[in-house]
Structure 1
């Protein structure tokens, strides 16, 4: 699902919302999550999951073209862990 598809669903389920308002809502939610992660905080949406930031240690990698070793510096990467309710809904499909 893309951002525009999410906005379209939001408008469909809430006909009183205009495109501009729905876009602002979606951008505000994603912007809040992004800002919080950038500040090093964890974002938890009960029943859905939790977003956090993990640190990858520096390591030696390889240039796939030349095969030579390259130093890769430490990085901060976003991490998502599903909530219990989402996990159960996803795995319910496997049981059928």
Structure 2
């Protein structure tokens, strides 16, 4: 099962009677915007009790096309990594 942005909006809307659907949508959008902007600028995003999102720089490296076996160079790039908190990890396991 996948939880979508619409599911998050619906959960907030139903669990907080004072929130309108529009305000719930804006709250989710604002949070996601803040999270994206912090990662884009290279900052880590720590959500206590949930985990930490980090930006990791991958350098130029040698790779291989798995279909043809042809060797090629993979470009340097930035990736987002996630490390769950100890609490989340123990609940998932």
Q: Is the counterpart of residue 22 in structure 1 residue 21 in structure 2?
A: no
How far residue 69 of structure 1 moved from its aligned partner, in angstroms, is: 2.3
**Distance (Å, rounded) in 2 between the aligned partners of 1:54 and 1:29:** 22
Q: Of the candidates 51, 75, 86, which is equivalent to residue 88 of structure 2?
A: 86
Unaligned runs of 5+ in 1: 92-96
**Distance (Å, rounded) in 1 between the aligned partners of 2:87 and 2:64:** 40
**Distance (Å, rounded) in 2 between the aligned partners of 1:68 and 1:16:** 59
How far residue 72 of structure 1 moved from its aligned partner, in angstroms, is: 1.1
SS in 2 for 1:89: helix
Unaligned runs of 5+ in 2: none
Task: State the number of aligned residues.
Answer: 91
Match of residue 38 from structure 2: 36
Could you state the TM-score of these two structures normalised by the residue count of structure 1? Answer: 0.85
Could you state the TM-score of these two structures normalised by the residue count of structure 2? Answer: 0.87
Q: Of the candidates 33, 42, 55, which is equivalent to residue 53 of structure 1?
A: 55
Over the aligned positions, Cα root-mean-square deviation in angstroms equals 1.3
The range that moved more, 55-64 or 80-89, is 55-64
